[in-house]
A and B are shown apart, each in its own frame.
Chain A
Amino acid sequence: MKADLSIDFCGIKSPNPFWLASAPPTDKAYNVIRAFEAGWGGVVWKTLGEDPPAVNVSSRYSAIYGKNREVLGFNNIELITDRSLDINLREITAVKEAWPDRAIVVSLMLPCEEHYWADILPKVEATGADGIELNFGCPHGMPERGMGAAVGQVPEYVQLVTSWCKKHSRLPVIVKLTPNITDIRQPARAAKAGGADAVSLINTINSITSIDLDRMVALPTVGQASTHGGYCGTAVKPIALNMVAEIARDEQTRGLPISGIGGINNWRDAAEFIALGAGCVQVCTAAMLHGFRIVEEMKDGLARWMESKGYQTLADFSGKAVPNTTDWKYLDMNYKVIARIDQDACIGCGKCFVACEDTSHQAIAKLVDPISAARSYQVIDHECVGCNLCEITCPVQNCITMVPQQTGKPYMNWTQDPRNPRAEKVPTAA
């Protein structure tokens, strides 16, 4: 059995679910052709706007790093395309003609007046592009001009602009959502109400990554000053996954196709987004850090994993984790796990002990061998609440495992729990 990675995402076909997000990697034909040569299934062309085009500053990016200088989070203050509409449209036309099997979605950002959209949409359609994505998410620069996140943060505007696009174009409309909002379901519902064929999320998060403590200015620095940018990369994946799940779970938006974006570095990240309901994924930071060839390992890993699980198509597992994502009140109060330390694998670093002792439940004992003075660490079962902290702090893979306990008690959620003073008294199945 060979896994089939091809997708039909709200009418847009692509040989695999890996698209490059609207960003510097999709700024012009040269990059996009290199991406297609590398094997990407599609691209969302970097956002087009009205002429004259935007002008960018120098410098533009900054990052936070892990211990080995690996980039954990990435920040940018770049605006939408700084090339003319005409050049972009001509390049899109040429690339689509040369790569008919790949998806080309054109990202757009225009002022909130219908005539701008009515004017540009036929031109975009004429390129042969497969769809449009509405950039309602850009958090820096453009909102100051009433565009990007300034639109995405007002559900009424989202609905209005979406409806104009549906009115003036036959192309599928993907609405790209900003995470810089309290409840992601509100703009998603508005997009759906406006007739959106899909949503994509997340766009970048307002961010300041770091301060140059000598010059007392944030990074990236432009002259003597800086401004907040948009945050992306590995660090934002948990935020993106939650927002994708919120939309997938919401009764009003359930079934609305989702293009998952945010910190996708490898096939596993992509599979996680798809498991939470995404129909395709968009990647930017990982490509910017490693180059386009990463899509090779992404496709290979995803296909092999699907084969190992017996999934033939992405639809076979898309959304499979959604039913298991619930509200806290429906979690089983009778479920119990206890940490178990594999003494043969333990290297004696003591990190689990100090974490539990200082910051948790004092559920790990430090034992000192009377002869060798060697330390060993032992879980005190009756003190362990099963919080996972020790497992997380342990530097050795699989040394600490969380072992489910046979409590002999049935499923009981908080709404049913006699300890709940405000129990709803209405038993609800998860």
Chain B
Amino acid sequence: MLDSLNYIPQPTASNGELASHFTDLAPPLNARQAAIESARCLYCYDAPCTRICPSEIDVASFIRNIHDRNIDGAAAGILKQNIFGGSCARVCPTEILCEDACVRNHDAEGQPVKIALLQRYATDNMSFVDHPFQRAPSTGKTVAVVGAGPAGLSCAHRLAMLGNDVVVFEAQAKPGGLNEYGIAKYKLTNQFAQREVEFLLGIGGIEIRCGQKLGENLHLKDLHANYDAVFLGLGLGASRQLGLTGEDAPGLLAAVDYIAALRQASDLAALPVPRRAIVIGAGNTAIDMAVQIGRLGAEEVTLVYRRGFDAMGATHHEQDIAKANLVRMVTWAQPREVLLDGFGRVRGMRFEKTAMSDAGRLTGTGETFEIAADAVFKAIGQGLAEASLSDPLATLLKRDGDKIHVDDRFRTALPGIYAGGDCVAPGQDLTVQAVQHGKLAALAIHSDMQAKKEGV
């Protein structure tokens, strides 16, 4: 998986020592802390935290349930809106969502209720004997879902709840999508992604088939023909290119590929870890990459971004994590040349300083500088893997830019085919957004199938 780095040395630290660098970034609340924190919630009416939550979780209600020691009630309230409530509690950028909107984040106090940690407390400590949601009587319908990430599984779970059977096709060896392969290791610890998927499947009626890749051994026209409806939760499988010579040189690779290998590694000490690393980009993936490679033992980690801090996709909270982990952040510089050594391997990069022109356009100043590095990780965004939409039917899907076009009920241009999550245009590319898309698409699929059955 990391062939491009096979000449890079392995860390000197043991697996156990390295693993200790990847424990919970934000440790969970204990019962006493949850009691204190839940007491801070004012139980707002028409609460701003709920209004801003992409998955419409009734925050005040679940926090009140925690305080009243009704943990299962709190968890059920979260999960009925967001079946990935456990992982969202860990990965959601709440600092720009519910915790930013919290009324206690007002000037006088500046200290929002720790909503994410409370949500985690509820979902970690729930003790349901059976799955908390029951399936409606069977509709006799079966839906194909492509992609076992948050969008696809959220859609599958809701469809199953509504009485439909679902077959989920997943390209990777395991379900979970980015929760399993893409999120920083210290944000989802202890195999949480797999445990959450198992919990989700507990509702029944969902079959997952792994190793099924759309455009390779799975074709949209077959799914369309064989199932009552199709949902595409494809994600963004392709890493954007720098567009420079030497892009394929050993030592240069996509951050998501390294993170996936890190997440799947049974022995962290077997991973290649460069002594000096450059990360290009400024989204949360770039931060995750920079921090994790540092924690694996890289001595110099430099994150380079072509604009300023304010324009970074990574939130201030994420930037702070990077700073706390001694990641050097260089702004206003864009990649110009991949520098190679005599073996054709990466030895660094040349950057050109940038500036904002009076017309508001980003331009190179002509001034360049070099940063030496043993590996370069690009985290400049993801796009749809075009190969997955190459069959004749898939090519008919209408697009919005490089994403799939959907209407406000997540219907694509092709009848019976729906899509949601990162692969469609609406919303931000967040787990919580993907979950909401899947949920809403399931409701649309279900009602469309019912309408068709009744001949309405």
Chain A contacts to B: CB under 8 angstroms: 67-69, 345, 347-351, 353-354, 366, 373, 375, 395-396
Contact = CB atoms under 8 A, between A and B. Distances in A.
A347 B106 contact: yes
Given A353-B45, A366-B46, A396-B108, A348 B39 contact: no
Nearest to A67: B39
Interface in B39-97: 39, 42-48, 51, 67
Given A347-B103, A347-B106, A349-B103, 17 more contacts: A67-B39, A67-B67, A69-B35, A347-B104, A347-B108, A348-B44, A348-B103, A349-B45, A350-B45, A350-B47, A351-B43, A353-B45, A353-B46, A375-B46, A375-B48, A395-B42, A396-B108
Nearest to A368: B46
A347 B45 CA distance: 12
B34 to A, nearest CB: 13
22 contacts: A67-B39, A67-B67, A68-B36, A68-B39, A345-B108, A347-B104, A347-B106, A348-B48, A348-B103, A349-B42, A349-B47, A349-B103, A350-B44, A350-B45, A350-B47, A351-B44, A351-B45, A354-B46, A366-B46, A375-B46, A375-B48, A395-B42
Contacts of B108: 345, 347, 396
A218 to B, nearest CB: 19
A375 B103 CA distance: 12
B337 to A, nearest CB: 45
In the A-B complex, the 10 residue pairs with the closest CB atoms = A350-B45, A354-B45, A67-B39, A347-B103, A349-B44, A347-B106, A349-B103, A350-B46, A349-B42, A68-B39
Interface string B293-330: 00000000000000000000000000000000000000
Prevailing SS type, chain A contact patch:
loop
A160 B91 CA distance: 75
Nearest to B35: A69
A373 B103 CA distance: 15
Contacts of B104: 347
Nearest to A345: B108
Contacts of B103: 347-349
Contacts of B36: 68
Contacts of A348: 44, 48, 103
A255 B20 CA distance: 74
Interface string B11-53: 0000000000000000000000001100100111111100100
A375 B44 CA distance: 12
Contacts of A347: 103-104, 106, 108
Contacts of A68: 36, 39
A290 B388 CA distance: 69
A149 B256 CA distance: 77
Contacts of A67: 39, 67
A291 B48 CA distance: 42
Contacts of B46: 350, 353-354, 366, 375
A77 B43 CA distance: 36
A350 B35 CA distance: 23
Contacts of A373: 51
B428 to A, nearest CB: 17
Contacts of A351: 42-45
B450 to A, nearest CB: 33
Interface in B99-153: 103-104, 106, 108
A125 to B, nearest CB: 52
A19 to B, nearest CB: 34
A351 B60 CA distance: 12
A67 B43 CA distance: 12
Nearest to A373: B51
Contacts of B35: 69
A353 B103 CA distance: 15
A265 to B, nearest CB: 20
A349 B48 CA distance: 8
B186 to A, nearest CB: 31
A351 B48 CA distance: 12
A345 B51 CA distance: 21
Contacts of A349: 42, 44-45, 47, 103
Nearest to B43: A351
Contacts of A354: 45-46
Contacts of B51: 373
A395 B39 CA distance: 13
A348 B52 CA distance: 14
Contacts of B42: 349, 351, 395
Interface in B241-276: none
A366 to B, nearest CB: 7
A349 B106 CA distance: 11
Contacts of A375: 46, 48
Nearest to B67: A67
Contacts of A353: 45-46
A244 B39 CA distance: 34
Nearest to B107: A347
A42 B39 CA distance: 38
B112 to A, nearest CB: 11
B440 to A, nearest CB: 20
Contacts of B45: 349-351, 353-354
B5 to A, nearest CB: 47
A354 B51 CA distance: 16
Nearest to B52: A373
Nearest to A70: B39
A173 B108 CA distance: 53
A251 to B, nearest CB: 47
A67 B39 CA distance: 5
Residue picked from A68, A347, A354, most chain B C-beta under 10 Å = A347
Contacts of A396: 108
A373 B101 CA distance: 12
A366 B47 CA distance: 13
A379 B36 CA distance: 33
